[in-house]
Amino acid sequence: MSQSLSQRYQTYIGELFAPEDATLRYVRRQTAARGLPQISLEANEAKLLQVLVRLSGAARVVEVGTLAGYSGICIARALPDDGQLTTIEVSSVHAEVARAHFQYAGLADKVTVLQGAAAQVLPKLAADAPFDLMFIDADKGNYHNYLAWAAEHLRVGGAVVADNAFWGGAIFDPKTDDDHAMVAFNRMLAEHPRFNSTIIQVGDGIAVGVKTG
Ligand SMILES: C[S@@+](CC[C@H](N)C(=O)[O-])C[C@H]1O[C@@H](n2cnc3c(N)ncnc32)[C@H](O)[C@@H]1O
């Protein structure tokens, strides 16, 4: 497939299935205005995540890497009335901005933002397991640890979803620690005996695994 045709497919999907509404556009504008990194999910990725939440029937979701709440809003919108998203963010500034955005989106009652490093926060969530879906979008060096947590704390039939599976193409010629971490994560997921997995070619690659046992 030529690069340009592949890009046209993404544009086609985005325009047809993933136009951002006023709230998501506001969150993107505020993310930039508040000086936060502009590394929220692309609209196509976020729409896919939303569909996966619906498809899996998830009601209890854990996210690692909140940033300004863009992906969290998309997840929370796909939850049933009694659904809950718990999202973990290491930066106190990002967590505060995200809380304001969940409030703005009318989703504050569905979302809990826990501030702290996920490696420290996740063990505290173990008592609330099993969860239905885990979305990983944070420090690459810990992706394998987050996957190990998912294997233990998702219900059978639940899903792990991870952004940046292609890591901007660096998986083909890994140089940095983060590059190698993503190569290792993808292999771990592909070979994991408790997940049936693949990478969906959208945005920077969305890895998806369904827990089978
Ligand atoms: C790519 S951004 C998340 C984008 C967000 N999921 C979205 O699409 O709207 C990564 C976020 O993970 C946070 N982060 C990095 N390391 C973390 C850690 N160890 N624990 C929790 N959050 C972390 C960063 O501060 C940043 O806000």
Secondary structure (DSSP) of 142-210: GHHHHHHHHHHHEEEEEEEEES-SSGGGGGGS--SHHHHHHHHHHHHHHH-TTEEEEEE-STT-EEEEE
pLDDT value for 18: 98
169-187 confidence digits (pLDDT tens): 999 999 999 999 999 999 9
The residue range of the domain holding 166 is: 3-211
Determine the 3-state secondary structure of 35 from DSSP: coil
- Check pocket membership of 145 for ligand 1, CB cut-off 6 A: no
Nearest CA to ligand 1 atom 18: 117
Q: Which atom of ligand 1 is nearest to the CA of 142?
A: 19
CA of 200 to the centre of ligand 1 (A): 21
Global confidence as pTM:
0.98
Is the torsion defined by CA of 133, 137, 140, 142 positive or negative?
Answer: negative
* Domain total in the chain: 1
Which CATH number goes with the domain that contains 143? 3.40.50.150
State the pLDDT at residue 207.
Answer: 98
Q: How far apart are CA 199 and CA 212, in angstroms?
A: 17
Q: Taking all residues of the chain, what is their mean pLDDT, rounded to a whole number? A: 97
DSSP 25: H
Distance 143 CA to ligand 1 centre (A): 12
pLDDT, position 62: 98
Is any ligand 1 atom within 6 A of the Cβ of residue 160?
Answer: no
Name the residue of 89, 115, 133 whose CB sits within 8 Å of the most ligand 1 atoms, as the mutation to test its pocket: 89
Q: What is the pLDDT of residues 93-149, one digit of tens each?
A: 999 999 999 999 999 999 999 999 999 999 999 999 999 999 999 999 999 999 999
Tokens 């899996």 found at: 56
How far apart (Å, rounded) are the C-alpha atoms in residues 122 and 103? 24
pLDDT tens-place string over residues 31-42: 999 999 999 999
Report the relative pairing of strands 195-200 and 206-211 from DSSP bridges: antiparallel
